[in-house]
């Protein structure tokens, strides 16, 4: 009994949670404005799209791969769709998501063929796809930014779940788009925990050959993962466009680094086979907290890249040392 309690207190999720609590206390002590409900709203707005990306990245990493093409896919599909929408004058949210999703699936299929069928290294294959998608967006679709989103689609960015007013009288509103990552998280949690498919993802991440011999169809599972990743990347891109009320061909580029960091800090092992939804959420919260509040603590802007990098190195270092420790400890 005591043993299991102790185990629960030293899991990776717990360590990340302690870090978050300590960090919030430090930020709050240095700047009391942090302890306000509005912080939750600002943070969840900042985390929203990262969460969508982090969930797909987590599933891909659990399966033993990696995907760095999602920002490019997200940009391409949301930007291409908004161009179609503006040219044809279609003002429909469902259409926006569906067409972008289809484009995302197309790139997902490309990734799936390269990685699952031809067995190319996932990092290099997705880097290539990323370059193709990003180059195609900028070269063939243009570099202009559009802020004239049609009114019906735009209305989604102005629908809120609830609002609160802080002491200075500024109204903070929780956007209803936050429901997308929440629903996604629940679905992925159930998928990973309670379906044969989900257990198969862990199995092929742990040992591909063992999984194949155990009867999992490795190619099919990998294909579905990368196609799903492409689709969800597009969903993330569309959500970002609506949230920012602006379509840009490359404002998401470069976010892959942060997302991978968040996933790994959350305890997902980059070598595959391990990872939980809760850990990923905590990892995203931690990274978002660091990114958004370094200024509140008084760290100047030009030091931020370094500090974020340091935190990632420490986070991954701790995860790896723990993994090494577990591997070396006595097996029962």
Partner 1 sequence: MRQKVKSFIVEVNKNNLMLFLLGIAIFIVMGILQPRAFLRAANIRGMGVQFPEFGILCFGMMLAMISGGIDLSLVGIANLSSIIAAVVMLKEGGSVYSIVLGILCALLVGAGCGVFNGFLIGYLKIPAMLVTLCGLQLYTGLGLAITRGPAITGLPAGFDKIANGSILGIPHSVIVFVILAIIVSFLLRSTVYGHQMSFMGTNEIASKYSGINNLKITLITYMISGILGAIGGILISSHYNSAKTDYGKSYTLLTLLIVVLGGTDPNGGKGNVLGVTLAVIVLQLISSAFNILRINSFVKTFVWGLILICTMVITRIIDNRNVRE
Give residues in contact with partner 1 (CB under 8 A). Answer: 66, 114, 118-121, 123-125, 127-136, 138-140, 143, 257, 260-261, 264, 270-271, 302-310, 312-313, 316-317, 320-321, 323-324
Q: Between 223 and 239, whose beta carbon lies closer to partner 1? A: 223
Q: Is the Cα torsion angle 186, 189, 195, 201 positive or negative in sign?
A: positive
Q: Between 133 and 185, whose beta carbon lies closer to partner 1? A: 133
Q: Between 33 and 299, whose beta carbon lies closer to partner 1? A: 299
Output the smallest distance, CB 307 to partner 1, in A: 7
CB 73 within 8 A of CB 104: yes
CA distance 298 to 161: 33
CB 78 within 8 A of CB 135: no
Output the smallest distance, CB 139 to partner 1, in A: 4
Q: Between 167 and 305, whose beta carbon lies closer to partner 1? A: 305
Output the smallest distance, CB 303 to partner 1, in A: 5
Output the smallest distance, CB 277 to partner 1, in A: 21
Q: Between 95 and 106, whose beta carbon lies closer to partner 1? A: 106
Q: Between 88 and 301, whose beta carbon lies closer to partner 1? A: 301
Output the smallest distance, CB 173 to partner 1, in A: 33
Q: Between 17 and 270, whose beta carbon lies closer to partner 1? A: 270
CA distance 202 to 331: 21
CA distance 133 to 74: 9
Output the smallest distance, CB 228 to partner 1, in A: 21
Q: Between 192 and 260, whose beta carbon lies closer to partner 1? A: 260
Output the smallest distance, CB 39 to partner 1, in A: 25
Output the smallest distance, CB 136 to partner 1, in A: 5
CA distance 103 to 91: 18
């Amino acid at each position: 009994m005591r043993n299991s309690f102790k185990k629960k207190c030293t899991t990776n999720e717990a360590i990340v949670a302690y870090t978050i609590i300590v960090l919030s206390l430090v930020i709050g002590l240095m700047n009391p404005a942090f302890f306000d409900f509005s912080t939750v709203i600002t943070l969840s707005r900042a985390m929203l799209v990262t969460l969508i990306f982090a969930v797909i990245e987590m599933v891909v990493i659990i399966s033993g791969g990696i995907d760095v093409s999602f920002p490019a896919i997200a940009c391409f599909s949301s930007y291409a769709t908004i161009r179609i929408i503006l040219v044809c004058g279609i003002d429909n949210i469902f259409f926006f998501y569906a067409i972008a999703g289809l484009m995302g699936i197309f790139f997902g299929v490309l990734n799936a063929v390269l990685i699952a069928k031809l067995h190319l290294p996932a990092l290099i294959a997705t880097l290539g796809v990323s370059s193709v998608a990003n180059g195609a967006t900028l070269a063939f679709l243009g570099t202009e930014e559009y802020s004239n989103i049609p009114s019906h689609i735009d209305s989604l960015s102005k629908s809120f779940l609830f609002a609160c007013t802080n002491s200075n009288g500024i109204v903070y509103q929780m956007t209803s788009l936050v429901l997308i990552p929440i629903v996604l998280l629940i679905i992925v949690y159930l998928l990973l925990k309670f379906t044969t498919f989900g257990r198969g993802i862990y199995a092929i991440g742990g040992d591909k050959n063992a999984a194949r011999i155990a009867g999992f169809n490795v190619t099919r599972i990998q294909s579905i993962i990368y196609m799903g990743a492409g689709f969800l990347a597009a969903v993330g891109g569309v959500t970002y466009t609506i949230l920012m009320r602006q379509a840009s061909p490359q404002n998401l580029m470069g976010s892959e680094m942060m997302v991978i960091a968040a996933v790994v800090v959350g305890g997902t092992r980059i070598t595959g086979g391990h990872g939980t939804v809760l850990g990923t959420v905590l990892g995203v919260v931690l990274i978002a907290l660091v990114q958004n509040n370094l200024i509140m603590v008084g760290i100047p802007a030009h030091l931020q890249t370094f500090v974020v990098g340091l935190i990632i190195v420490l986070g991954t270092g701790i995860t790896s040392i723990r993994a090494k420790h577990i591997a070396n400890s006595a097996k029962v």
